[in-house]
Every structure is written in structure tokens, then in C-alpha cells.
Chain A
Amino acid sequence: MLAEQATALVNMEQLEKVYPNGTIAVRGVDLEAGAGEFICFVGPSGCGKSTIFKMIAGLEQPTGGQLEIFGNSPHEARKQNEIAFVFQEHTLLPWSTVEANVMLPLALRKVPKPERREAAHRALRLVGLSDYVKALPRELSGGMKMRVSIARALVSRPKLLLMDEPFGALDEITRQTLQQELLNIWRQEEGMTVLFITHNVFEAVYLSTRVVVMTPRPGKVSAVVDIPVPFPRDDTFRTSPEFGHYVGLVSQALKH
């Protein structure tokens, strides 16, 4: 029990968020995320997935329950610069090059320029965009912009990576390529925990070590499905009976 406490990166107890307009976004959420986990959140629109992420990131304050990140408050945790966020839209600075966009988190922390650049190039190598250092966002495709966003999130080597429907706007082929890349990166960056929101059950099962299934009105966790399939996973996993089994489990949990 004690050992588990020590490794918990994110800890939610009876977490609740009621927006000022009275909307109960989430209520009574209990969840613990350990180091090195890959947890997907699935659930219909409006069940409070983004709200949970916003609270973790410190963009919204919980109205009830407990929320601890790295054993601290979200505010303290953010100051440690070990949380990174990838939004559904790529949110790149349109006037900045790919390199400058990726270096941004480090630039804001006033990390010396050579170090910054080195870290940016490393992150861009991870997402396969080394050739696009000097490109501007408008010159990239949607998938490439998303890669840049991911590189920017990785540049500070975060312990916790929050991804809110990052692949939602991409076509299926690009999506699968990026899923594979993300898994590779996650395994390379040892100990990094990824929390990932998706509407796509297949994506959730393919990526995660655990799938958190949420239901709306009020938003709550209705089931947590373990996916104890070893990594590396590849396309053969997508077509395996095992995969179908877990997809079935998650889909069933969603229907409740």
C-alpha cells in the first residue's frame, strides 16, 4: 500500500467540479495514476473528460474532493514544469518556426539557447520532423502540426503528459501512424505517464495500460478496464481476438 502511495503521480478522491452556472461536470471521481502508465479516458461528449484534465493542469479549480499531482496541489505541480499538455487543436504560434514553437516551453523558462535547441531537435527527432526545423506551421499538414505539438510537449521531458483528443481531427491512417509513434515515444521516455482522452474505443484499447470509462450527467467513472497486453504492440494486435475482447469490454461499460 505504501509503495503504491509513493508511485502515484495523480491521485483523485471524490473529485468534483460544478461550474458556476450549475453544471455538474464531474462528481465522485476516484482514480490513481502511477508512474509509467498509459491511461485512456473514453466517454460520450460532455461527461467531463476535459474538465478533469483542466483541473489537473490548474486551469480549473475543483469544487470538491481531493486532487494531488506528484503529491502536491495542481498549482504547485505546474510550477515544477513536469506537466505537459497537448490540445485537440495544434495550438502552435503561427508566426514562429517549428523549432521556435518546440523550444517555447524552455524559452519561457529561460533555458540557455544551445540547450534549448538541442532539446528541441531531440524532440523533433522523436516525432520524425527533423527536416522541418525551419518550417512555419502553415506549411505543414494537420498530422505534422500535431507532431510538432507533441514534440513541444516532450521537449521538457515531462513526467505527466496530458493529451485531450489529440488525434481527433486526423484521418484514420495518420491517426494509426501517430498512435504507433506515441507508443514508441512513451516507451522510450521511461516513467512518463500519459493521460489520453479519446472518443475512439479502438484507439483507447490499442494505446493504454488502463481504460477509464466515463458516463455523463453527472460525469463519473463507470468502469476501469485493464488492458494487460504487453508492449510493443503493433498492427497484429489490432486484428487479434484479444483486441476484440477488450474493445467489447469497454464498449459494454460505455453503454451503462
Chain B
Amino acid sequence: MVIDKTELPALRYGNPDTKNKGRLRQAMPPAASVARKWGSKLLPPVAAFVIFIGGWELAGGLLGIPAYLLPKPSDIVRAAVENAGNLGVSVFTTLSEAIIGFLFSIVFGVLGAVLLASSKTVEKAVFPYAIVLQTIPIVAIAPIIVIWVGAGANAIVIISFLIGFFPMLSNTLIGLNSTDTNLKNLFFLYNASKFQTMWKLRLPAALPYIVAGLKISCTLAVIGAIVGEYIAGIGGGKGGLGYAITVAATRLQTPYLFACGLSASIMGIGFYLIVNYFSRAMLSSWHESEMRTR
């Protein structure tokens, strides 16, 4: 019965702050070397960026390429600043559509997967389709949505939702079906109900898959919102980035077009990074989720 405590890993369980322990364990390097490390890491990409932008600006000026063909970086910045108000409204509009669509795809994707996975027969019938469904080019059927619900925000949100929904559904479903057999047997032996097995075993075990789905869906939701705006227009509301891009393109306002495209890219990347951050936080608390609720 005697356990040699010295052989066991150090105890820190009284301490709720277990998350940072990995970081705490490392000795802090001196500030100067941190700065040097960051410098050596940041310098090359920053330098490349400056050279690229500078070269573009110079080439544009020297070669005299007209702004409606290829605007110089300064033209793009001027266009963005001059239309800052409109651009802001467009970004906000698209972002809200993407977020709403994304939230819907999470809720319906996870719920749908749970429902499908709850019945062996339904699951067997539907599972192959769920795998295939995530590759459907939703964009191809988007005009149908417009016919059904009319142009404008509703159609855009639905398109954004649909495009993110299937990856969410199939990822969750795959996750729910990949539960460890031993753990499933264990729940069976302890007479767990279907609901208990779902809630206490299959869903938490599927979390890494759900997170993978989130990352795919969030990117797609932004694309869905912009494409939705191409197809569904504004329908009386304020136009988003997709709409602004079509308008700028038809009017040959190329610098503003570039500014819109740039904003869309930054928005997409930002959205992904935020979702990525939350996913990571969720996964690291994945192991601790029980501790929190008790």
C-alpha cells in the first residue's frame, strides 16, 4: 500500500490555475534575448512586406499603369480612407451576416448530428450521405434560396449558414461515431441510458472533431456571406462587402475594389483567428470540463 510519493508527478491539484503550468515551468528568458528572438522572427516577413509594397508603389508610378487597371497601394489606401464610412458599414454588414450564419450552422450542425447519431438505423441510412453532403457546392444552389426567401439579408444568412452547415454536421457525426469501444462498453456495463451515453461520453469525446468543423465552417461562413451578397444583392438593406465589390467593379472604381477585397481578406483571417483561439481554449478545457461543472 505504500506509494513512493517522490516518484509521482508533482502535485498541484489544489491550484485551479493548471492551464498555465506548462508556461510557468519554463524559466523566463531575459528581455533582451526575447526581443532578439522576436526580431529575428518578425524582421524577414516585415522586410518582405515593405519591399513588396514599395516595389509595387514605385513600379506603378514609373510605368504609369492607370489606377483603374492596377492601383498603387497609396491609391488603395486613399480610396479606403475617402470611403471609410461606406467601407465600415459594408464590413459590419457582411460580418454580422457571416456570424449569424455561422452560429446557425453550429447549432443545427451539432443538433442534427446528435439526432442522427441517436438512432442506429437512421445513422446507418444517413451517415454516408453526411460524408458526401459536405462537398456539395452550395453556391450552385444559392439562386434557389433567393427565389424562395427573396433577395437581401435573409437569403444571405441562409446561404452562409448552408455553406457552413454540412462540414459542421459531418464532422460532428464522425466525432460522435468514433467513440472508444472500451468506453462505450463501460457505459453499457454500468447501464447508462442513451441520453447519458450521448451527453457524458459521445459528445465530449467528439469535441476535437467539432472544433475541426468550427474551423472549416467559420471560413466558409464568410465566403458564404460574400457570395450570398453577389447573388442576393441588398434587398433594400445596407450592402455588404460582396455588394460593394460588385458595384465598384461595374463602375471601374478599381482602388475601392481593392480596398474592399483587402477588407474582406482581413475580416476572414481575423474571424478565423478568433474562432481558432476559442477552439483552442475549448479544447484545453476539454479535459477539465467535468471539473468546472461539478
Contacts and interface: CB of A to CB of B under 8 A. Distances in A.
Interface in A120-177: 128, 131-136, 138-141, 144, 177
A95 B286 contact: yes
Interface string B174-210: 0000001011011111111100100011001001000
Contact of B186 (A91, A133, A177): A91
A91 B180 contact: yes
B191 A91 contact: no
B189 A59 contact: yes
Contacts of A135: 13
B27 interface: no
B3 interface: yes
Contact of A95 (B2, B189, B290): B290
A93 B204 contact: yes
B268 to A, nearest CB: 31
Interface residues of B, number: 33
A108 B191 contact: yes
Nearest to A113: B294
Interface residues of A, number: 39
A97 interface: yes
A83 interface: yes
Contact of A104 (B8, B188, B190, B193): B190
Contact of A78 (B14, B189, B201): B189
A181 interface: yes
B191 A79 contact: yes
B291 to A, nearest CB: 5
B291 A91 contact: no
A128 B8 CA distance: 12
17 contacts: A78-B191, A81-B190, A85-B186, A87-B185, A87-B186, A89-B182, A93-B201, A95-B290, A100-B290, A100-B291, A104-B200, A105-B190, A108-B193, A128-B1, A132-B11, A134-B13, A141-B9
Interface of A: 57-59, 78-79, 81, 83-85, 87, 89, 91, 93-97, 100, 104-105, 107-109, 128, 131-136, 138-141, 144, 177, 180-181, 184
